[in-house]
Each structure stands twice: as C-alpha cells, then as structure tokens.
Amino acid sequence: MFGSSTTPIATTSPPYEVDQCQGVLRVYSDISIVRSSKPSFNVPVHDNGSNYCFRLALDLQALIISPNCRLAPENRLLAAIENGYMAVKWLTLQAQAKSDPWLSDVANFSRVFVSGDSTEGNIAHNLAVRLGAGSDELDPVRMRWYVLLAPFFDGTVLTRSKAEEPKDAFLNWELIDRLSIPIGETTDHPLVNPFGPVSPNLESKDLDPMLVVVEGSDLLQDRAEDYARKLKGWGKKVEYAEFEGKQHGFFTIDPISPDSDQLMLIIRRFITEN
C-alpha cells in the first residue's frame, strides 16, 4: 500500500518479515509503516519472489501480502489458482473484521493490486478474470490494478520465441506441462491458454487496469505480447513493457540493478496514472 497521510520513518534497516501468518502468508514491511488513525498504505498481493517483494515494499512504500501456493506435481492446476483466490478472500476477512490492528490501522483496503511473476503472473490473470472490474465480491477490499510479470501462458500452437530459444533444465516445458496441467488436458486448457478454444471470452469481460511486463529474451515473450495486444485491441486498459535482451525473471535474480530500478519506476507510474 502506498503512503498518503503518514510520514515514512528514515531508516537504513532492510525490509523484514513482519508475520508468517501460520505459514500461509508472509507480510513484509520496510519499517516505514507507522500507525495512524486512517488507512494509508496500498496493498499489493504478490505470489512468490521475496526479492521482488522487498523492492515493492521499499520503492512503493507498500505493505506486501505474499501467499504460498500449493505446487505441482502433488497439486495440479487449479490448486495454485484457488490459493491465490483464498489469499484475497483472507484479505477481505481482515478488512471486514478489523481484528488485527497492525494490518487494519495502516492498510488502505480500497487500493489493492495483484502482481505475479511467471506462473504467478498466470495466477494474477486468472484472478483478474474471476473477480472482474471492481471486484464487488471482495467488498470492502477493492482491486485496482494487476501487474503481470512474464506471465506463464502456453498453448498447442508453437510460438516463435518458444521455438527459437534453446531448451534448458530450468525451463523444461514438456516436464512442466506433464506435471502441472490436469491429467488428460492439453496446453489449451483455459487456465493455461487465455485464448484457447474453450477459454472465457475476454473481449466481453470487464477487467481492471493491467500492466504486462516481459523480457525480450524470454520463451514467454510472444504469448505475453499477444495477450497485451489483444486485450488492448478490445478496449481494455492494458500497458505493455518489454526489457530487451533480458532473461526470464531478471528482477528476482538481481533486484538491485538499473533494469530492476526501471521496472519499479514503470510499476509506480502505472499505478499513479491509473
């Protein structure tokens, strides 16, 4: 959450983990969060990526909710999608009950955004579609933005970026598909391919503003770019940013770099302007 009425405390201390929330959520702070009589911080909900969470807390003066999701192969899709949904529903319960003063005293529950990197970017997309514009079912929580970082989309049609990039042990598509997609399904499953033959009609869906970020040397580039282009062509509020020559997840590997700094500036501008 971004500060609006409180003055940040000057500190050189690093971000720290405030609460593990029984192993389901991790809440980070940059120590600038102070109690006040009015909610003053925006709430990003980000799946995974502690380095990225630290940067968000520091650069955006935000309180970060970082849920842990059930992983494949023990838990195939849609388990992780449901965990993301459970996280925002948990936030709704906190806003309604106001049972935790540490959170309710500083959180602006009307200014929440969801962000995710790679597979978590896929979760962010699916949450955006499920909740729709305005996220009325989460009242008093209000989703304002979605930030998709190299979202992990796939499909049965081979893209140029996927075909041209060399295979590596870290990103083994065949293995990922075999272990994560529901048994008997293909990569055109609606949770994997936003524009698959049985996927929801996004053209008629009202969506909150989205920022799609992709690396220029990423196998996922083409599908992410196509995703942003199609949504924008249908009149959705979508921005697209590409980091030429960068590899998948560069900002989680090296969060203190000129490119990571630029990413923070892009996210801040996107949120400020929307």
Residue 2 confidence (pLDDT): 39
Q: At what angle do helices 50-60 and 258-273 cross, to 10 degrees?
A: 60
Please give the model's pTM, rounded to 2 decimal places. Answer: 0.82
Q: In this structure, what DSSP letter does residue 7 have?
A: P
Q: Are the C-beta atoms of 42 and 113 separated by less than 8 Å?
A: yes
- Measured CA to CA, the distance from residue 18 to residue 37 in angstroms comes to 20
Q: Which residues are catalytic?
A: 118, 218
Residue 27 confidence (pLDDT): 63
Residue 17 confidence (pLDDT): 52
Residue 8 confidence (pLDDT): 42
Looking at the chain, which runs of residues are DSSP E strands? 16-19, 25-29, 41-47, 64-67, 107-117, 143-149, 210-215, 238-243
Q: Which residues in 199-226 are b (16+ Cβ under 10 Å) and which e?
A: beebeeeebbbbbbbbbebbbbbbbbbe
At 262 the three-state DSSP class reads helix
At 60 the three-state DSSP class reads helix
Q: What is the mean pLDDT of each run of 10 residues along the chain (274 residues)?
A: 40 49 57 50 58 85 86 91 94 88 84 93 97 95 96 94 73 83 95 97 98 94 97 98 92 90 96 92
Looking only at the bridges linking them, the beta strands covering 238-243 and 210-215 are parallel
Q: Please report the domains of the chain, with CATH numbers, ordered by start residue.
A: 16-273 (3.40.50.1820)
